[in-house]
Structure 1
């Protein structure tokens, strides 16, 4: 039995259905990210787990106990918000101790737990400072320590890094993941940032228009997207429309070329339109072992991005984007150059929808 279970969860606000038939089993100690654009229902789902919203239908169980009828403070859940939500009139130590005091813990236990949490977030020297004396990253560390101090069964984080600058976000997400692993706490993390979800998660739940489009590991979500939305939302993508040439041979006409795809075409018929997904890093200008597809193309655009050079090539009515590493010893192709693109038939993903 899973540690956290959401079964048939639905949420309606008057006539608007914002979460549709949400089903998820989370194992103890697992780090799950809800990933999707604004308005997809991910924060509403998180708030239902926390107890701030009541499901219109469905069940939510933590350690086998149905928590739908329980108040937030009865669920033993820690919550970290985007806005930090620290008490401005309390010091760092007092903020971390707040939940323990409310729970009526002895002073000695509170002091020991606060010292432990400040050590975990690497801010013991700032115990007597107030929130206004801290940077944004430091405030979010304190908010995390306060949520963890009460030893919750489940930790919920609602876009906790979105207000921080890019460099601090990278550093803090690594710290959050390290702390989560060290404590072994079951965690749900809401984000619209695909890089955060891919780098931090054991599994990702991709949401779109209130429904779950795909649940899988970062590797699965990135490399084998189940729908066109997942394919386009996660990572840079070539999405190319093609026509099935020969379903038995696994060939699809893309532009003026027939290309081989390893994905099964199932019951599709010749002449049927199909959407193909192809990651830019799968395509190379020089052949590599295992590549069995070669496509003649002409360079139409070259963009220098520092360590990566992004190239767009026309294959006769369709355009493929590829990424190649910058090397001073190997200058990039020029616009108008005739080239051969190399890839593997297994790199094409036939989108289900």
Structure 2
């Protein structure tokens, strides 16, 4: 039985069904991301697990115990919010120790646990500061330490990185994942950022319109999308349709629509490729180790990624090129 078991959850606000028959089993110590656009229901699922929203129907079991109907403080859950939610009138140490004080722990035990948490998040010497004296990244680390201090069974993170700049966001997401692994704590992470979800998750739940469109590992979600929505939402796609004879670039396929990731398309005739396309270079973007090209093929634009090679500059804008790919790399769209 999963450690965290969400079974047939439904949530409606009036006539609006926000979450529809949502089920998910999370193993102990697993890191799960709920990924999707705004309004897809991912935060509502998180809030139901936390106890801030009650399901219209369905069950939430933690360690075999149904927690529906229990208050948030009765669920032994830690939560980190998007907006930090630190108490501005308390020091960093007092913020981290707040939940422990509520639990009635003695001062020496609180001080020891706070010191342990501040060391864990890499801020051992900032306990006496106030939130306004910290950067955004430091404030979110403190919020994480506060959530972890009471040793919760489950950690919930509601878009905790979205208010931070790009460099801090990447650094902090890696830190969160490292801490999660060290502690072995069962974690649900809500995000609309596909790169975040792909980089740190054991599994991803892609949500669309209150429904879990697909649940899988990052590899599966990216390479084997089960619906057109997942294929379009996660990563960039090139779209292809078969012609009247069921062909794409000389290769005969089952009639329908297909997609390919930019890295599946090759410049020139690649070994093993059975699809070739004549194209004109429309855009060239130098991204350091990778060069992103956009080429026009019969009125459609095809993106492809190629590694930078100092001895091989990219083709010029407007030049005629041949693109190739293998039909094995095509994703059939449903």
TM-score, normalisation: structure 1? 0.90
Q: Offset at 1:186? A: 0.2
Alpha-carbon distance between aligned partners in 2 of 1:56 and 1:241, rounded to the nearest angstrom: 42
Alpha-carbon distance between aligned partners in 2 of 1:133 and 1:313, rounded to the nearest angstrom: 50
- Aligned residue number for residue 209 of structure 1: 209
Contact conserved, 1:302 with 1:333, CA < 8 A, in 2?
no
1:297 to 264, 278, 281: 278
- Aligned residue number for residue 248 of structure 1: none
- Deviates most, 154-163 or 327-336: 327-336
Mapped pair 1:239 → 2:251: no
- Deviates most, 186-195 or 339-348: 339-348
Change (3 A) 1:56 1:299: same
Contact conserved, 2:238 with 2:260, CA < 8 A, in 1?
yes
1:314 to 280, 293, 296: 296
Q: Offset at 1:243? A: 4.7
- Aligned residue number for residue 222 of structure 1: 222
Alpha-carbon distance between aligned partners in 2 of 1:288 and 1:298, rounded to the nearest angstrom: 15
Alpha-carbon distance between aligned partners in 1 of 2:293 and 2:130, rounded to the nearest angstrom: 50
Alpha-carbon distance between aligned partners in 1 of 2:17 and 2:257, rounded to the nearest angstrom: 29
Aligned length: 333
- Aligned residue number for residue 133 of structure 1: 133
What's the secondary structure of 2:94's corresponding residue?
Answer: helix
Mapped pair 1:326 → 2:320: no
Alpha-carbon distance between aligned partners in 2 of 1:275 and 1:72, rounded to the nearest angstrom: 47
C-alpha RMSD of matched pairs (Å): 1.6
What's the secondary structure of 1:38's corresponding residue?
Answer: coil
- Deviates most, 42-51 or 302-311: 302-311
- Aligned residue number for residue 64 of structure 1: 64
- Aligned residue number for residue 344 of structure 1: 326
What's the secondary structure of 1:124's corresponding residue?
Answer: coil
- Aligned residue number for residue 104 of structure 2: 104
Change (3 A) 1:122 1:260: farther
Contact conserved, 1:31 with 1:188, CA < 8 A, in 2?
yes
**What does residue range 1-353 of structure 1 map to in structure 2 within 5 Å?**
1-243=1-243, 245=245, 252-254=246-248, 257-260=249-252, 272=255, 274-289=256-271, 291-307=272-288, 308-352=290-334
Unaligned runs of 5+ in 1: 246-251, 266-271
Alpha-carbon distance between aligned partners in 2 of 1:113 and 1:55, rounded to the nearest angstrom: 34
Unaligned runs of 5+ in 2: none
Alpha-carbon distance between aligned partners in 2 of 1:331 and 1:177, rounded to the nearest angstrom: 38
TM superposition outliers: structure 1 runs of 4+ over 6 Å: none
TM-score, normalisation: structure 2? 0.95
- Deviates most, 313-322 or 79-88: 313-322
Contact conserved, 2:294 with 2:302, CA < 8 A, in 1?
yes
Alpha-carbon distance between aligned partners in 2 of 1:128 and 1:220, rounded to the nearest angstrom: 46
| 1:236-286: CA deviation from partner (whole Å, max 9, x where unpaired) | 1112333574xxxxxx434xx34355xxx5xxxxxx5x2211000111114
Contact conserved, 2:268 with 2:321, CA < 8 A, in 1?
no
Q: Offset at 1:297? A: 1.1
What's the secondary structure of 2:163's corresponding residue?
Answer: coil
| 1:81-140: CA deviation from partner (whole Å, max 9, x where unpaired) | 001000111111110000001011122221111111000001011010000100000000
Contact conserved, 1:173 with 1:196, CA < 8 A, in 2?
yes
Contact conserved, 1:298 with 1:336, CA < 8 A, in 2?
no
Alpha-carbon distance between aligned partners in 2 of 1:324 and 1:93, rounded to the nearest angstrom: 49
Q: Offset at 1:351? A: 1.4
Contact conserved, 2:281 with 2:321, CA < 8 A, in 1?
no
Alpha-carbon distance between aligned partners in 2 of 1:16 and 1:259, rounded to the nearest angstrom: 46
